[in-house]
Structures are given as C-alpha cells and as structure tokens.
C-alpha cells in the first residue's frame, strides 16, 4: 500500500455536523469494553478520552460512528496524516486536518487547541484503538505495515527537524532528596514524604497503584521493614496479591504517616481538608501528579515533572547503582524488557567506564598544545 496516495482511497466528509450526544454515547460504549476486560480504572479514564476523540474525528471526517464495525487501515493512516505535522520544503509545518474540523473538535472540547498533535499523543490514541479492536476480536488497523512505515518515517522526519519525543524528567536520587527536603513535619509534609518514598522506593509505582492502596494492604515486618500488597494493576489483572518491601527511609516515613493519621481501614493516602484535617477519601491520581509538581517547584528544580517521574527515576537510579535488571523488573512489574531498558541503560551508563575513556585533567595541570605548520 502506498501511503503517499492513501487519501485517494478514502471518502472524506468535511461538513458532517458533530452530534455531541451520540459522541458521548459511542465513547462510553467503547470504554465499557475495556472495563469488561478488567482494565484498571485510571487507565480506562485515559482510554475514554482517546475514544471520545476517535468518535468525534470519525464523525466529522467520514460521517462514521465508532463501534459499528472494525476500521480499515486506511482510516488509521489518515488519522496520522491529519494529526502529525510534517516539514514543508520551503520551511514551516503542515498537517492535513481541515481547519473546520479542527475548530469543531476544539469546540466539542475533545481537543484542547488548534493544530497538530504531539507524536506521543498520536501513538497513544492509535494504541487505544488497537486494543479496542482486539477486545472486540477484530483485526486491528494499527498492525498494518503501511501505518507502521508511516509512523517510523514521521518520527524520523520530526527528529531531523529537531522535534524530539518528550519524556517526563526522571526523579533520580538527587532530585528525590530535594523533594523530600521540602516536606516538613506537619501532617501534609508527613503524608507527602511517605507517598513519595513509597512510590519511588517501592518499585516506582504507578500513581493509580498508589492511590488504590488501602490501610489493610500494608504490614510491618520488623523494625526496619514494611511490606505492602498489590492486587490488580495495569499489567497484572488476575487479582493475585503480590507483596513488595519497603525498607530504610521509606519504612520510617510510612510508619510516621500511619502514626499521624491512624486508621484501621480505608485508603492509605487520604486527602487533607481545611486546617490540614485528614479526610476519609483517597487522593486522586491527578493529585499525586500535582504533589510531585508542587514539591519540585518548592525545591526549585527545573524539568518536566509528573507522577511518572518517580517510576522512571527509580529504574534509572537502579541502573545507575548497578542493580540487576531482573531485580528491578521484579519490583516494577514491567512485562517487557524493551519498555524498561531505555531508563535502565541511561542510569547504568552514568557509571560506565565507557564514558571516561579520556583521562581527567587536574584543574592545576597545564596543557601545552603544539603543532606543525
């Protein structure tokens, strides 16, 4: 299939009115398929947003409803062409999404602003579409060779123009210590310290996993060690409980939080109300991200911080300190070596002899450079 001529094979509809009620219904029905398949609640929220966008774009672009039938690869290819910016020969960038459709998507609040989407956003929405097809036992359009070729070439083109795929800044040991230094001994500081250390030291937990922890999920093993139990997560859906250890500062911080906010049941990490009164409801996943960002700002750290910074930072620091990859994956529960190796290798290379092949020169040593004409 020639991706350059792909739009010739499609019937595009630029004037289809957007039915917001139908849009919401189709997205909700599609999201229900993920819930029935046991997908984690926080993940479903992310998927629902992507499916709402797919539903709106399909209605506007093709006059087609999401869910009527499997989508052909040509539609997935058109999605990429519509949303990824490509460099123009004379300078500047362009994408194929008609301005009227772009404006309608923004008006419907399924798109935040006019213009192309980031490569990561397009990739995520394609991944959601592919998984939704597999749940429905349909052939996925995202597996088409033409689409994979287009994505690969698009990424190369953006890289050549200096557009890099953005990743959140990893919180390795030094920035983690800076975050912790902003946590005082008040109830908010005690909670945030325990949350940061459990998330990081406990294996780089996902924010959905942290806010889902209950008081009953933690137990003290000895004076320096706590255990916490995970049930269903993004990658483990069987519901089997697995215990992970917390030692040293993380164990001390958890004990301090439980002493400051004692509870026999309910969420482990709870919201604070006026006057720093501990509530009964769990923190949300978004609040975990805001805690990380607030503490980073208080510490004066520059970077693009998010809850995922704790997960990537744990893996990077483990590689930096020479922890075997198998032990790291046992803590993080990554299923794929490929998905964890990027962070792990970045950390391990920081201490590699391969980075110090040129001998260091002492500050007081003078270097005389001579040459022949």
Distance, CA of 325 to CA of 15 (rounded, Å): 53
Decide which of 15 and 353 is more confident.
Answer: 353
Q: What is the CATH number of the domain that holds 265?
A: 1.10.443.10
Q: Domain count for the chain, please give it.
A: 2
Q: Please state the rounded mean pLDDT for residues 262-289.
A: 93
Distance, CA of 60 to CA of 15 (rounded, Å): 7
**Does residue 179 sit in the same domain as residue 293?**
yes
pLDDT digits (tens, 9 = 90+) for 146-194: 999 999 888 887 777 655 555 678 899 999 999 999 999 999 999 999 9
Closest CA to 261 of 218, 301, 315, 209: 218
**Does residue 151 sit in the same domain as residue 235?**
no
Is the pLDDT score of 366 beyond 50? no
Residue 216's CB is within 10 A of a number of other CB atoms, namely: 12
**Does residue 129 sit in the same domain as residue 189?**
no
Q: What is the pLDDT, as a whole number, of residue 350?
A: 63
**Does residue 296 sit in the same domain as residue 326?**
yes
Q: What is the pLDDT, as a whole number, of residue 24?
A: 54
Domain extent, residue 313, equals: 173-352
Whether residue 277 is contained in a domain is answered as yes
Distance, CA of 116 to CA of 251 (rounded, Å): 46
**Does residue 340 sit in the same domain as residue 203?**
yes
Q: What is the DSSP string of 44-71?
A: HHHHHHHHHHHHHHHHHHHS--TTSSPP
Q: What is the DSSP string of 298-333?
A: HTT--S---THHHHHHHHHHHHHTT--HHHHHHHH-
Top mean pLDDT of 15-19, 153-157, 335-339 is at: 153-157
**Does residue 190 sit in the same domain as residue 293?**
yes
Helix/strand/coil for 367: coil
Region of 162 please: left (phi>0), alpha (psi -120 to 50) or beta.
left
- Give start and end residues of each alpha helix (H) in the chain: 20-36, 41-62, 73-83, 99-107, 119-135, 145-160, 173-181, 187-201, 207-211, 249-260, 285-298, 308-320, 325-332, 337-350
Whether residue 190 is contained in a domain is answered as yes
Q: What is the pLDDT, as a whole number, of residue 335?
A: 78
Closest CA to 71 of 22, 24, 139: 139
User: Do the beta carbons of residue 303 and residue 162 sit within 8 Å?
Assistant: no
**Does residue 84 sit in the same domain as residue 187?**
no
Is the pLDDT score of 13 beyond 60? no
Closest CA to 154 of 202, 222, 86: 86
* Phi (first) and psi of residue 194, to 5 degrees: -65, -40
Closest CA to 82 of 58, 66, 46: 58
Whether residue 372 is contained in a domain is answered as no
Closest CA to 319 of 329, 307, 333: 329
Q: What is the pLDDT, as a whole number, of residue 349?
A: 63
Distance, CA of 137 to CA of 131 (rounded, Å): 10
User: Do the beta carbons of residue 211 and residue 267 sit within 8 Å?
Assistant: yes
**Does residue 16 sit in the same domain as residue 151?**
yes
């Amino acid at each position: 299939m020639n991706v350059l001529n792909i739009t010739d094979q499609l019937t595009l509809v630029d004037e289809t009115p957007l039915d917001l009620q139908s849009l919401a219904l189709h997205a909700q029905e599609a999201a229900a398929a993920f819930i029935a398949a046991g997908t984690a609640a926080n993940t479903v929220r992310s998927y629902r947003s992507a499916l709402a966008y797919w539903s709106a774009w399909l209605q506007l672009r093709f006059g087609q409803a999401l869910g009527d039938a499997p989508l052909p690869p040509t539609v997935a290819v058109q999605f990429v062409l519509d949303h990824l910016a490509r460099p123009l020969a004379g300078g500047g960038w362009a994408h194929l999404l008609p301005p009227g459709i772009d404006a309608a998507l923004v008006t419907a609040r399924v798109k935040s602003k006019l213009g192309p989407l980031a490569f990561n956003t397009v990739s995520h929405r394609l991944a959601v579409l592919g998984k939704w097809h597999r749940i429905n036992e349909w052939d996925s359009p995202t597996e088409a060779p033409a689409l994979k070729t287009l994505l690969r070439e698009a990424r190369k083109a953006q890289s050549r123009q200096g557009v890099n795929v953005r990743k959140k800044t990893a919180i390795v040991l030094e920035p983690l210590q800076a975050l912790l230094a902003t946590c005082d001994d008040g109830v908010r500081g005690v909670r945030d310290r325990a949350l940061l250390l459990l998330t990081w030291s406990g294996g780089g937990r996902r924010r959905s996993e942290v806010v889902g922890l209950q008081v009953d999920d933690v137990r003290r093993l000895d004076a320096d060690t706590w255990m916490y139990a995970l049930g269903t997560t993004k990658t483990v859906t069987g519901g089997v409980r697995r215990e992970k250890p917390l030692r040293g500062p993380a164990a001390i911080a958890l004990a301090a939080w439980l002493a400051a906010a004692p509870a026999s049941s309910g969420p482990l990490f709870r919201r604070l109300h006026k006057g720093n009164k501990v509530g009964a409801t769990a923190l949300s996943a978004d609040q975990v991200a805001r805690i990380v960002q607030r503490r980073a700002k208080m510490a004066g750290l520059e970077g693009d911080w998010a809850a995922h910074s704790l997960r990537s930072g744990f893996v990077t620091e483990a590689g930096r300190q020479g922890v075997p990859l198998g032990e790291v994956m046992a803590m993080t529960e990554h299923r794929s070596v490929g998905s964890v190796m990027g962070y792990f290798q970045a950390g391990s290379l920081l201490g590699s002899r391969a980075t110090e092949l040129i001998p260091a020169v002492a500050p007081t040593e003078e270097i005389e450079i001579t040459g022949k004409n």
